[in-house]
């Protein structure tokens, strides 16, 4: 069906690798105009070219750390200056590094998790709302995590992701009257589909076993009703659908698990 996203003005944070890359590809296939906001300039340029090949109407990049003051504003400004406004934001940028809570005494890591997964999200959300309002409304989608519901070795990370869900639902309640919809997608574990799917600085760059071993994957699948791993495209399809002003016109404040049934919130 026509999702009404042709020429839509879209910002995807963390859009250069893995899930973010797939989301960019999904909007590109709809003919959208895209800003890829990411730390990795080299990988962002690669994905920019891929998106144009897939049918994006136009693609720009905004390189920087969204934790830094002004970086989120710059990403929004790229869309406004290039195309006169903003219609869609997908807050995908995030960072994870797991540890059992009783052993997790690294305060610097706690701070980084909070900065990337929550502070940067607040910065991006606040930067986007005025532009979405000026465009007459639009869509914001948060890519959260199954860890938000409580997962082993993901205590601090999961807490930041749960906080993000609260933020996204607050946006839905406060700005629905301005035509802004806000929803959440919680993916299961998503392993990159190849070397081109991640940049050199990605957590996955050292190979999948450095993050999640085959034995751990098998353990996870035992509790997954569909008995298959979540792909980046699975998450992208949900994010693109939720951004549609036609298909998801009356959907806001909702949370969708894309995990094969691993969790059913």
Catalytic residues: 157
Coil, helix or strand for 193?
coil
Helix, strand, coil distribution of the chain in percent, nearest 5:
45, 15, 35
Q: Which helix (H) or strand (E) holds 185?
A: strand 180-187
Upper half-sphere CA count for residue 32 (Cβ side, 13 Å): 33
What are the C-alpha distances in Å from 92 to residues 84, 220, 223? 23, 23, 26
Number of H helices, E strands in the chain: 8, 7
DSSP string, 47-100: HHHHHHHTT-SEEEEEES-TTSTTHHHHHHHHHHHHHS---EEEE-------B-
The CA distance from 194 to 232, in Å, is 11
The CA distance from 39 to 144, in Å, is 19
What is residue 3's DSSP assignment?
Answer: -
The CA distance from 78 to 34, in Å, is 10
């Amino acid at each position: 069906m026509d999702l009404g996203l042709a020429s839509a003005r879209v910002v995807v944070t963390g859009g250069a690798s893995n899930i973010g890359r797939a989301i960019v590809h999904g909007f590109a296939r709809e003919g959208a105009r895209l800003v890829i906001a990411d730390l990795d300039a080299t990988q962002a340029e690669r994905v920019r070219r891929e998106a144009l090949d897939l049918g994006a109407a136009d693609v720009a990049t905004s390189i920087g750390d969204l934790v830094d003051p002004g970086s989120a504003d710059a990403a929004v400004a790229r869309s406004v200056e290039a195309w006169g406004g903003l219609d869609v934001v997908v807050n995908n940028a995030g960072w994870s590094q797991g540890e059992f809570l009783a052993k997790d005494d690294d305060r610097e890591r706690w701070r980084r998790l909070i900065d990337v997964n929550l502070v940067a999200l607040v910065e991006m959300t606040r930067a986007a709302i005025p532009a979405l309002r000026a465009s007459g409304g639009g869509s914001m989608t948060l890519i959260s995590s199954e860890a938000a519901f409580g997962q082993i070795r993901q205590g601090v990370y999961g807490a930041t992701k749960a906080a993000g869900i609260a933020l996204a639902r607050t946006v839905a309640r406060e700005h629905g009257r301005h035509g802004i919809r806000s929803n959440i997608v919680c993916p299961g574990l998503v392993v990159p589909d190849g070397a081109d799917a991640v940049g050199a600085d990605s957590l996955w760059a050292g190979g999948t076993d450095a993050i999640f071993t085959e034995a751990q994957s098998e353990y996870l699948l035992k509790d997954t009703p569909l008995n298959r791993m979540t792909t980046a495209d699975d998450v992208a399809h949900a994010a693109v659908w939720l951004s549609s002003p036609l298909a998801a016109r009356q959907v806001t404040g909702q949370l969708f698990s894309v995990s094969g049934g691993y969790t059913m919130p």
